[in-house]
Amino acid sequence: MAAKASSGYSKYLLVLVLFLSVWYALDKISHRFWVFDQHKLHQIASEVIALPHNSTAAMISELSHRLAAEYPKHINLKQEWVFNNAGGAMGAMYILHASITEYLIIFGTPVGTEGHTGRHMADDYFIILQGEQWAFTPGQLEKEVYRPGHMHHLVRGDAQQYKIPDSGAWALEYARGWIPAMLPFGLADCFFSTLDLNVVWDTFRITGKRILYSLSVGKF
């Protein structure tokens, strides 16, 4: 009886070990799948910030068109905005690109927000386009302040408290790593706080569509 039970468990253990080995091997070569470069994104964003703009919408439109010119096939120019509630913070995002190993979004809020960044299996680059972002790590007694043109790098595995003050901010956010593993954090507040299932549906619909599209053009 005991022997039968332990052979049942060893099947699951084998599947787990296999899964972890495949994940580890893919993680080691994941850089081969990246198409975006954070320094190039930073440069493009800085050029756009330096231009005179009539509105935030005009700046975002100019930025998305320049990104599409730099990364043909990889940028979604259809602006579909969706709320995001994560780590206690709230904002809206427009998904420019999503694939298994990278995403690029415009994220922000005109009214301010604050929360936990989450601890992700991805590096996160938050390039401020307009407004300010504040952040701190435990042990740090002064806040970090990020202004237009600054790129805030949240290193894979790290976490911070962050705030967008009441005057609001907009940023180009680039994440590279295991994107599907970020989604539970990105959606948890919808299930445990807002109960806004429209947001869950729109996030899955748009992200799923972009990931499938990326796979169809050979982008993992």
Ligand X SMILES: CC(C)=CCC[C@@H](C)[C@H]1CC[C@H]2C3=C(CC[C@]12C)[C@@]1(C)CC[C@H](O)C[C@@H]1CC3
Shortest Å distance, C-beta 50 to ligand X: 22
Token pair recorded at residue 95: 């998904």
**Do the beta carbons of residue 59 and residue 53 sit within 8 Å?**
yes
CA 193: distance to chain centroid?
20
Instruction: Identify the CA nearest to 186 among candidates 92, 65, 60, 48.
Output: 92
Token pair recorded at residue 144: 């970090």
**Under the criterion CB under 6 A, does residue 220 sit at the interface with ligand X?**
no
Query: Which part of the chain contacts ligand X (CB under 6 A), choosing from 2-10, 41-49, 97-105, 136-144?
Result: 97-105
What mask of x and - would describe binding to ligand X in positions 102 to 141, judged by CB under 6 A? -x-x-x---------xx-----x-x---------------
Query: Which part of the chain contacts ligand X (CB under 6 A), choosing from 7-15, 21-29, 31-39, 179-187?
Result: 179-187
Among positive and negative, which fits the CA dihedral 40, 132, 91, 167? negative
Instruction: State the Cα–Cα distance between residues 156 and 176, nearest whole angstrom.
Output: 9
Shortest Å distance, C-beta 187 to ligand X: 7
Residue 162 vs 170, nearer CB to ligand X? 162
Instruction: State the Cα–Cα distance between residues 61 and 80, nearest whole angstrom.
Output: 12
**Under the criterion CB under 6 A, does residue 64 sit at the interface with ligand X?**
no
Contact residues: ligand X, CB under 6 A:
84, 86, 93, 95, 98, 103, 105, 107, 117-118, 124, 126, 152, 154, 162, 173, 179, 182-183, 185-186, 207
